[in-house]
Structure 1
Amino acid sequence: MNLKLFVFNGGPAPRRVVIYLVERNFNEDASVELIQCTIAAPGAPALAPGKPPGSVPLLHHPATGFTLRESLAIIDYLEDMAEVQGLWTMRGRTPKDRAKTKEMLGLIDAVTTDVEYAPAFGCRLFAPVVGGEQSPAAVRWLLSRANQSLERIAEYAAEGTPWLLRFEREEEAQVTVADCALFAILQYAENMFGWDLTEDHPRLKTFYGAFKLRQSASIPEGTWPTQLTDMTKDWIEY
């Protein structure tokens, strides 16, 4: 494929794609080159040699100019490529299975958005993003929304497996794209802000504990350095 994937390890959206790539384990001839970007400050652009304009993750094919800038679209495209190669599915084979996967991904995306926006309204590190106009009420509202979505994810999760979904006619539950996306935001919240989003959700705590043991859960050194996370603990009262 000769694709270039521009990412920034510290962000939950790029992180979900990187986790997916490790889990997917493409054939050697399916080249996806990971390129780490730098971000100078919250709200600053992601920079790397050869990177087209846009946020990360960003998938780019230099020869054709084909570009995708949304994490779930990138995962869906790469999953199409994997299935063409005859690899196992990570999103289900039947329309019902795929609908369940999309339902779960929609809820996970809602959690990700709320958890990403909350710091802009309450963490002093992110105050410049909103011009200093921060609001404890906005933080409480966003975190409440995230918790409601997490409740629904836990309610919809399959039983008898730590993973979120078990597809029809599947003897043993496998990790899916939904698992990759949920783990990314739970890991980000824990390491960036010290939040345990599974605290009130035993089903999701089981999931998180199991996924932490996987190779894809390994955090690259320096992803969330202490000098950064010391500042992310500085919040206005909410």
Structure 2
Amino acid sequence: MRQFPWLLYVYPWMPYPRRIIIYLREKGIPSSTVTIVPVTDPQLGSQVDSRFPAKPPGSLPILAIPQDNHGAHFTYIRQSLAIMSYLDELCENGEEGFPRSRYSMRGADALQRAHVNGVIALADECTTQWNAIRLFGTGAGPFPLPDASNEMLRWVRRSLMTIEEAYKDRDMAPLIQSERDESATGSSVTLADIVLYQFLEFTVDCYGVDMTQGSGKIVKDVYGRDVLEKFPKLAEFYNAFKTRKSVVRDVEQGEVPPSTVLEKMRNWHKGSL
């Protein structure tokens, strides 16, 4: 059995680390098993608390797994999707000292996992494409090209339309978590839900854009086809998932962007949206 705690290095408010923070809370994995190590923004030197080893080289998030009792040697896992999938498999099988889960967030069988992976791919693509939108469309990027931002936004909506169709028959009620519900986990949550929610939350909280709100009109998609730009199921999903305790941002832990950064992210160039 490996030594604990494992260390998860994150920029707490940024999108890819945010996924794993939500995942750990949903799964009920305690900090004594996986400790979140906040890292200051890159512009501030990517510093960590002196109690922990320095940030490993590479983009965050990074999961550092101790290989000895002294914390001198680690095995590293990079990329948010790889980290979540790895931890979920350990929990599913009760390996490496992780408590056995009641359910898998990756899907109960091969067919469910295929559906989960399909939505993960689309939601992850949305997050990746948003980088171009912010670079071209907001004050957070150095390249003000509103037409390019607007075109990339159409590609993101194309992916969201596909997810809308995938979720059209899903009952979102089990996702709702009341204030009286002390349970940290729910058997209806999947990795796809976490990745999708993280994207929808990121655009609202950081850029002031609710991607669940389409025009409600028939528009031309990126291939010139007539489509209804409306996302009622995504809106239902988002409103249900945001009731969960796992998604509450901890200000003291740096899970809210600095006001100076928010100001730049919400400064949209005319014609970008």
Shorter-chain TM-score tier:
0.7 to 0.9
Greater fraction of residues in helix: 1
- Please say if residues 7 and 65 of structure 2, whose CA atoms lie closer than 8 Å, have aligned partners that are also in contact: yes
1:66 alignment partner in structure 2: 75
> Which of 68, 92, 96 matches 2:111?
96
2:17 alignment partner in structure 1: 14
- Please say if residues 198 and 204 of structure 1, whose CA atoms lie closer than 8 Å, have aligned partners that are also in contact: yes
2:213 alignment partner in structure 1: 199
SS in 1 for 2:17: helix
SS in 2 for 1:147: helix
- Cα distance in 1 for partners of 2:265, 2:124 equals 22
1:106 alignment partner in structure 2: 121
- Counterparts of residues 70-85 of structure 1 (less than 5 Å): 70-85=79-94
**Which AA in structure 2 matches 1:153?**
I
Q: 1:116 to 1:46 in 2, by over 3 A?
A: farther
- Please say if residues 174 and 188 of structure 2, whose CA atoms lie closer than 8 Å, have aligned partners that are also in contact: no
2:7 is equivalent to residue 4 of structure 1: yes
Q: Give, in angstroms, the shift of residue 134 of structure 1.
A: 3.2
Q: Give, in angstroms, the shift of residue 11 of structure 1.
A: 1.1
- Please say if residues 168 and 233 of structure 2, whose CA atoms lie closer than 8 Å, have aligned partners that are also in contact: no
2:222 alignment partner in structure 1: none
User: What TM-score does the superposition give when structure 2 sets the normalisation length?
Assistant: 0.75
Q: 1:29 to 1:188 in 2, by over 3 A?
A: closer
- Cα distance in 2 for partners of 1:57, 1:112 equals 15
Q: Give, in angstroms, the shift of residue 194 of structure 1.
A: 0.3
Q: 1:135 to 1:106 in 2, by over 3 A?
A: same
- Cα deviations across residues 130-170 of structure 1 (Å, max 9, x unaligned)? xxx432222112211111101101101152411899xxxxx
Q: 1:174 to 1:30 in 2, by over 3 A?
A: farther
- Cα distance in 2 for partners of 1:29, 1:54 equals 23
SS in 2 for 1:125: coil
**% identity of equivalent residues:** 31
> Which of 131, 144, 149 matches 2:159?
149
SS in 2 for 1:161: coil
Q: 1:163 to 1:60 in 2, by over 3 A?
A: farther
Aligned length: 224
Q: Give, in angstroms, the shift of residue 84 of structure 1.
A: 1.4
Q: Return the index of the structure with the highest Cα Rg.
A: 2
SS in 2 for 1:143: helix
Structure 1, gaps ≥5 residues long: 128-132, 166-171
Measured on the aligned residues, the alpha-carbon RMSD in Å equals: 2.3
SS in 2 for 1:126: coil
SS in 1 for 2:140: helix
Structure 2, gaps ≥5 residues long: 68-72, 95-99, 176-185, 215-230
- Cα distance in 1 for partners of 2:124, 2:242 equals 20
**Which AA in structure 2 matches 1:154?**
E
2:221 alignment partner in structure 1: none
2:260 is equivalent to residue 227 of structure 1: yes
- Counterparts of residues 28-177 of structure 1 (less than 5 Å): 31-41=33-43, 46-48=46-48, 49-63=53-67, 65-85=74-94, 86-87=100-101, 88-127=103-142, 133-157=143-167, 159-162=169-172, 174-177=188-191
